[in-house]
Amino acid sequence: MPERSLLATLLVPGKVPSLAASRLEENFRLIRIERADPALVTEEMKQSVQGMLGITVIDAAFIDVFPNLEIIANLGVGYDSIDAAHAGKKGVMVTNTPDVLTEEVADTTIGLLINTVRELPKAEKWLREGRWVREGSYPLTKATLRGRSVGIFGLGRIGRAIARRIEAFGLPVSYHNRRKIEDVSYSYYPTLVSLAEAVDTLISVAPGGAATQKAVDATVLRALGPNGVFINIGRGTSVDEEALIAALRDGTILAAGLDVFADEPNVPQALLDCENACLLPHVGSATVHTRQAMADLMVDNLISWFTKRQALTPVPETANVKARTYS
């Protein structure tokens, strides 16, 4: 049988995602470099690279290194680490992996919320350490989901999936977005502060980027109040971590559950020391099932682009980018 021809040359700045490795190697010539650093790029790479994996920070300067770059395929729904606006101006397509992780992340959010409110990880630790035998029952938790009202910051695909689950608990849902959504019945608040004032449980699903940088600040946390619970499943950069640590320490809010942080994987020691914080290592979509679906969609975008000249899931900033034609 004749050897299968490869579709294009892809640059991999960092490690090849293991769940995508076999399909990438079957369909593309892969060039691996340690990180997205122009100093690591040879002249041959500059000319040959047509596609790139978005698995690290891809800024405008790095995009500009490659005159024949056509597509950056991101692994994940969030793509704030890629300068998509610049890519769009340069005629470079950027894709992400929406939908396939929505339900998984929503499940994780509810688990994180329950763990934060009912202290289930601490209760399990109590049992495992033999304290149930020595000291008796785990102390009654201060918090409960009963009687709570929930506000969602970022009512996109994942936010809606979370809202459906919150409704199943019999709790009212409100939200804040840049603009009101017409096809939902949830109460809308035009500012994040007004939402925080109206609820006692705030779930952030907001994307990263300049528009949300430290949006959850001391003012928002004070508005949430001493019975307030803050959950972040979106991006760590949307929170002023110093203000959050202070709010947890001094009782401005009751508790927080975080799956994301500003400088991952580096979590501030002051946050680790907060007994009223439930912390997870960014595992929102981290199951084999969902990560495989994400990896497959990333590769499907690349294959579709280089065979049909169309992307399956372009990001909004590059939705109008057209594939180049060659004579």
What residue has token string 């401005």? 252
What residue has token string 């409704």? 167
Active site residue 282: yes
Of 86, 160, 165, 235, the active-site residue reads: 235
Which part of the chain has CATH 3.40.50.720?
8-98+288-318, 102-279
Active site residue 264: yes
Of 26, 34, 264, 289, the active-site residue reads: 264
CA 160 to chain centre: 15
Task: Give the DSSP letter of residue 161.
Answer: H
What proportion of the chain, given as a percentage, has pLDDT over 70? 98
Q: What distances in angstroms separate CA 32 from CA 40, 66, 98, 186, 227, one per listed residue? A: 10, 15, 26, 47, 50
CB 68 within 8 A of CB 50: yes
Q: What distances in angstroms separate CA 219 from CA 109, 215, 229, one per listed residue? A: 24, 10, 15
Q: CATH homologous superfamily of domain 8-98+288-318? A: NAD(P)-binding Rossmann-like Domain (3.40.50.720)
Q: Report residue 325's pLDDT band, with 50, 70 and 90 as the boundaries.
A: confident
pLDDT digits 0-9 by tens, 101-129 = 999 999 999 999 999 999 999 999 999 99
Fold designation for 102-279: Rossmann fold (3.40.50)
What proportion of the chain, given as a percentage, has pLDDT over 90? 97
Active site residue 235: yes
How far, in Å, CA of 255 to CA of 43, rounded? 53
